[in-house]
Amino acid sequence: MYKILVVDDEEMIRKLISKYAQFAGHSVTEAVDGMDAIEKVSKEQFDIIIMDIMMPELDGFSASREIRKTSQVPIIMLSARGEEYDKINAFEIGIDDYVVKPFSPKELMLRVDAIMKRVKSAQPKEENKNQVISLANGGLVADLTARIVYIDGERIDMSPKEYELFFYMLKNKNIALSRDKLLSDVWGYDFFGDDRTLDTHIKILRKSLGKYSDFIVTIRGMGYRFEEK
């Protein structure tokens, strides 16, 4: 059972999500806007947040930025807009998934389950030593256990999804990865949405990698491959 915070100014949508979440055995708290969400997050812990973008008082983007200052709780963003700009903005903030309205409540619950499974599997076991991968003569270093990336000795920040995608590609270095496999293995479920989500994340990841962005090679008509130049 997960403790879910549902944030939307439309009561009908909040009740719909709550109904399906509770049916799946989860505990649900509702917030009517971004300000309400920030206040609730400051007072109690949640396993995951489902947040609309367009809301009065404080929109979902601004609320997520504030929450990210103190918490890495997974966030699924809801929006009536599916433009790439909005998705890039959301993913750069550090949200974990982006769902365009209208959406299937059943699919939304699958996304919740997939994200939470990844969160649990990513938690390091205390007895294990940190797994570190060093490339480009130490110019690019990734501590997979601590979820830390260094470029030329300087630590860089990535969103949770960037880390997952980057580390997955590192573990499968020099292997051609199809778009379907990346979506299935990194997103953790049979992807229902727009597969441009993958391209958006690749674009953001390349930006984060800076001069090492060309380590991610596009395989036309197939997918991507990570290789050290």
Token digits for 21?
């979440």
Domain 132-226, CATH number (from 1.10.260.40, 2.40.160.20, 1.10.10.10, 3.90.226.10): 1.10.10.10
Token digits for 39?
């206040």
* Residues contacting residue 161 through CB under 8 Å, at least 6 positions apart: 91, 95, 96, 97, 186, 201
Tell me if domain 3-122 and domain 132-226 are identical in fold.
no
pTM over 0.95: no
State residue 129's pLDDT score: 65
Name the band, by pLDDT with cuts 50, 70 and 90, for residue 191. Answer: low
- What are the extents of the domains in the chain? 3-122, 132-226
State residue 186's pLDDT score: 85
* Mean of pLDDT values over 190-194: 53
State residue 128's pLDDT score: 53
State residue 23's pLDDT score: 93
Give phi and psi for 126, each to the nearest 5.
-60, -30
- CATH code of 3-122, in short, is 3.40.50.2300
Q: Which of 81-90, 184-193, 202-211, 219-228 has the lowest mean pLDDT?
A: 184-193
